């Protein structure tokens, strides 16, 4: 375990020294600034134009939609971060000659991978949770909107990002840097498309679409975790407002059940086991 | 005594390409073995199998009695790859400290300081990789390979980026390793380096060992050159012992002799005879 921590610290130091975290921090601050501007403006316009006669809780609709958007952006940014922290961890580093001096040490290739997983997961999961919570704080300050749950969406985002880190680490054992980056974003896009597909299926009442969406979201569990989190965000908003909000701004929101948590953990472990096997068999 | 490195019937195929075929090799403790061969001969593959980066297709290799690639073998091995890099953001100290932790070396700052001094980088510990020349990085690579006091050191083209002074430093370092009982396998195209420092030379071509022996045994006599009043005479079959007789005969025959040079073959001659001779 101490070797994995040594590798993780090395990877984290690299992210800091290469100013990856600084750039991400600055861009995130810009996003949160824009988000705050949008949130304050949106709630302010509600106060000015609200007629009071419409049977929709506009404050809840606005708050839920804004925070859903923030959730999506936080996930997207964290996925970008996850991909760039890991996409060249094995094959890319081996091609550049960075990996060999480490692999010949009595550490073990699995430990090396575990270290990279630990570093990227710590950074990305912390990042996504912090961004999401800051967005929730801004939404609260702007419109006094409190989501139904903060824990489930935050935990879902964190675990979802870890599954993406695992996919990227598996990819880097077999694919070149560019190919791996493309592959992981394709997987991510597939998950998002599945969510939209489910939304369309729900809207048009087409079971096959809904079912396909459900299967895909479990195959790429970050999507199921995202949907689950999005649902938990606004689950206590009822009536017509609830129906509209549950559609979600980016992908459908639906409760996928408690089984998603152990499934996502087991799925990530299985992907990492495959990555370790592929890495072990790879000639460097 | 357990050999630092033993390879028996070692073979490696990459798809249809055979990189190594039935290679037997041994590096004793305190022995410097030079590995020679043309590009694509299988030298780097052999070194990579020894340090666990590549899995052999057949045969076996052992480092200090442990199967090559095993944790115990890697704990006894120091390795400098032909193409290697350290993170550009890291300092020399940080690189060595990382490798100390991974090699479980408890040498601390004292070991780092000593290693940097051995490779001629004393006082450069805080210097970042991105500000180092290729030669300095190669020196640091050698220092990194020596972290933790390995029993076997595998060096793949360790002096390719070094100036003559740097090569001299590395030669002295290798001699020091031999004195400490460390086995060294030195893969290099610089025949003069190997000739100067190695106890034994192994020449590989086409994935097979084509010849091996001590440098002085591999270098054949090259005849005698005599500078006379009639020009330079070359006697390719003559040996050192023949010189007095040849000079006597020339002088007796009225020829003025200005100089005599006994020509000895070089390792390059031996290498070319072993490698090019096979190809032609």
Q: What are the tens digits of pLDDT across the range A71-120?
A: 999 999 999 999 999 999 999 999 999 999 999 999 889 999 999 999 99
Dihedral over Cα of A237, A243, A245, A248: its sign? positive
Please tell me if residue A281 touches chain B, with a CB cutoff of 8 Å. yes
Q: Which residues pair with B201 in a beta bridge?
A: B34, B213
Q: What share of chain A is helix, strand, coil (3-state, %, to 5)?
A: 80, 0, 20
Please tell me if residue A236 touches chain B, with a CB cutoff of 8 Å. no
pLDDT the model gives residue B76:
94
Q: Which residues pair with B79 in a beta bridge?
A: B154
Q: Are B236 and B49 in contact (CB under 8 A)?
A: no
**Tokens of residue A68, six digits:** 């859903």
- As a whole number of Å, the end-to-end CA separation of chain A is 24
- In this complex, the residue of A13, A101, A108 whose CB is nearest that of residue B81 is A101
Looking at beta carbons, which residues of chain A come within 8 Å of B141?
A: 101
Please tell me if residue A3 touches chain B, with a CB cutoff of 8 Å. yes
Which residues 59-98 of A have a C-beta within 8 angstroms of B? 96-98
Closest Cα partner for A170 from A283, A272, A282, A280? A272
pLDDT the model gives residue A110:
93
CB-based burial, A261-270: b 16+ in 10 Å, e otherwise: bebbeebbee
Dihedral over Cα of A200, A205, A207, A210: its sign? positive
Pairing of strands B183-187, B32-36: parallel
pLDDT at A55 over 80: no
Q: What is the pLDDT of residues B98-113, one digit of tens each?
A: 999 999 999 899 999 9
Average pLDDT for A181-192? 92
Q: Count structural domains, chain A.
A: 1
CB within 8 Å: B53 and A107: no
CB within 8 Å: A104 and B51: yes
Pairing of strands B32-36, B17-27: unpaired
**∠ CA B128-B130-B131 to the nearest 5 degrees?**
70
Looking at beta carbons, which residues of chain A come within 8 Å of B79?
A: 100-101, 104
Average pLDDT for A128-145? 94
CATH fold group of domain B5-216: Rossmann fold (3.40.50)
Range of the domain at A149: 2-281
B268 vs B274: CA distance, rounded Å:
10
Q: Which residues pair with B209 in a beta bridge?
A: B204
pTM: 0.84
Q: What are the residues of chain B with a beta carbon less than 8 Å away from any beta carbon of chain A?
A: 14, 48, 51-55, 71-72, 74-75, 77, 79, 81, 83-87, 89-90, 94, 98-99, 101-104, 141, 144
CB within 8 Å: B74 and A98: no
Per DSSP, the three-state class of A252 is coil
- In this complex, the residue of A98, A107, A284 whose CB is nearest that of residue B87 is A98
Dihedral over Cα of A80, A86, A88, A91: its sign? negative
**Tokens of residue B257, six digits:** 């002799």
Give the domain ranges of chain B.
5-216, 221-264
Three-state DSSP string of A236-279: CCCHHHHHHHHCCCCCCCCCCCCCHHHHHHHHHHHHHHHHHHHH
CB within 8 Å: B83 and A108: no
Tokens 């999401």 map to which residue? A132
Which residues 97-126 of A have a C-beta within 8 angstroms of B? 97-98, 100-108
pLDDT at B280 over 50: no
B53 vs A284: CA distance, rounded Å:
5
Average pLDDT, chain B: 89
């Amino acid at each position: 375990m101490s070797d994995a921590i040594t590798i993780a610290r090395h990877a984290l130091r690299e992210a800091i020294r290469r100013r990856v975290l600084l750039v991400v921090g600055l861009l995130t601050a810009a996003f949160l600034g824009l988000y705050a501007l949008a949130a304050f403006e949106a709630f302010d316009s509600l106060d000015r134009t609200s007629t009071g006669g419409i049977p929709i809780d506009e404050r809840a609709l606005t708050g839920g939609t804004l925070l859903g958007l923030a959730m999506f952006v936080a996930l997207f940014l964290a996925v970008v971060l996850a991909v760039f922290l890991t996409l060249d961890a094995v094959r890319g580093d081996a091609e550049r000659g960075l990996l060999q001096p480490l692999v010949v040490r009595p550490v073990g290739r699995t430990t090396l991978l575990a270290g990279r997983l630990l570093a990227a997961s710590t950074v990305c999961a912390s990042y996504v949770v912090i961004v999401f919570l800051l967005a929730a704080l801004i939404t609260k300050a702007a419109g006094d909107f409190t989501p139904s749950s903060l824990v489930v969406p935050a935990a879902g985002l964190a675990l979802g990002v870890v599954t993406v880190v695992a996919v990227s680490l598996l990819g880097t054992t077999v694919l070149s840097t560019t190919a791996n980056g493309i592959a992981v974003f394709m997987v991510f896009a597939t998950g998002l498309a599945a969510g939209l597909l489910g939304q369309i299926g729900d809207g048009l009442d087409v079971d096959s679409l809904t079912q396909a969406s459900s299967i895909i979201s479990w195959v790429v569990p970050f999507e199921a975790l995202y949907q689950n989190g999005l649902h938990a965000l606004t689950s206590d908003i009822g009536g017509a407002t609830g129906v509209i909000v549950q559609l979600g701004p980016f992908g459908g929101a639906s409760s996928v059940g408690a089984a998603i948590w152990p499934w996502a953990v087991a799925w990530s472990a299985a992907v990492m086991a495959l990555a370790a096997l592929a890495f072990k068999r790879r000639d460097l | 005594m357990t050999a630092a490195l033993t390879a028996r019937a070692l073979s490696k195929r990459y798809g249809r390409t055979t990189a190594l075929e039935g290679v037997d090799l041994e590096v004793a403790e305190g022995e410097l073995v030079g590995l020679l061969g043309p590009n694509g001969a299988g030298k780097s593959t052999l070194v990579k199998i020894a340090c666990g980066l590549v899995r052999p297709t057949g045969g076996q290799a052992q480092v200090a009695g442990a199967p090559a690639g095993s944790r115990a073998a890697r704990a006894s091995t120091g390795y400098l790859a032909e193409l290697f890099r350290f993170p550009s953001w890291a300092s020399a100290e940080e690189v060595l400290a990382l490798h100390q932790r991974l090699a479980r070396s408890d040498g601390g700052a004292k070991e780092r300081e000593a290693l940097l001094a051995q490779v001629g980088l004393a006082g450069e510990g805080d210097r970042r990789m991105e500000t180092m020349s290729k030669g300095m990085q190669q020196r640091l690579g050698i220092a990194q390979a020596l972290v933790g006091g390995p029993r076997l050191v595998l060096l793949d083209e360790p002096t390719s980026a070094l100036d003559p002074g740097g090569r001299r430093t590395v030669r002295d370092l290798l001699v020091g390793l031999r004195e400490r009982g460390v086995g060294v396998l030195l893969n290099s195209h610089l025949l003069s380096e190997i000739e100067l420092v190695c106890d034994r030379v192994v020449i590989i071509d086409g994935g097979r060992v084509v010849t091996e022996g001590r440098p002085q045994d591999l270098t054949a006599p090259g005849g005698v050159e005599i500078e006379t009043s009639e020009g330079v005479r070359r006697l390719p079959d003559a040996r050192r012992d023949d010189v007095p007789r040849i000079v006597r005969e020339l002088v007796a025959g009225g020829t003025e002799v200005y100089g005599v040079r006994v020509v000895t073959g070089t390792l390059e001659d031996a290498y070319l005879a072993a490698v090019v001779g096979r190809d032609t």
